[in-house]
Amino acid sequence: MRPQKLFTLIFVKKNKEILLGHKTRGLGKGLWNGFGGKVENETLLNCAKRELYEECSLLAENLNHLGVVKYEVVDEDVDHIVHVFTCTKYTGTEQRSEEMDPIRWFNFKDVPYEKMWPCAKKWWPYMLSDKYFSVHCIYNDGNIISNNVLGHGSINHVFSELSL
**Contact footprint for ligand 8DG (CB under 6 A):** 7, 9, 25-28, 33, 36-38, 71, 80, 82, 117
CB of 156 to ligand 8DG, least distance (A): 22
Residue 93: name the closest of 51, 57, 52 by CA: 57
Dihedral class, residue 97 (left if φ above 0, else alpha if ψ from -120 to 50, else beta): beta
Taking the C-alpha atoms of residue 54 and residue 66, their distance in angstroms, rounded to an integer, is 22
CB of 15 to ligand 8DG, least distance (A): 24
Q: Which residue is nearest to ligand 8DG (CB)?
A: 37
DSSP assignment, residue 108? G
C-alpha distance from residue 4 to each of 7, 124, 151 (Å)? 10, 23, 23
CB of 26 to ligand 8DG, least distance (A): 4
CB nearer to ligand 8DG: give 10 or 161. 10
Distance of CA 104 to the CA centre of its chain: 16
CB nearer to ligand 8DG: give 43 or 153. 43
CB nearer to ligand 8DG: give 139 or 153. 139
Residue 19: name the closest of 99, 100, 80, 74 by CA: 100
CB of 87 to ligand 8DG, least distance (A): 14
CB nearer to ligand 8DG: give 51 or 161. 51
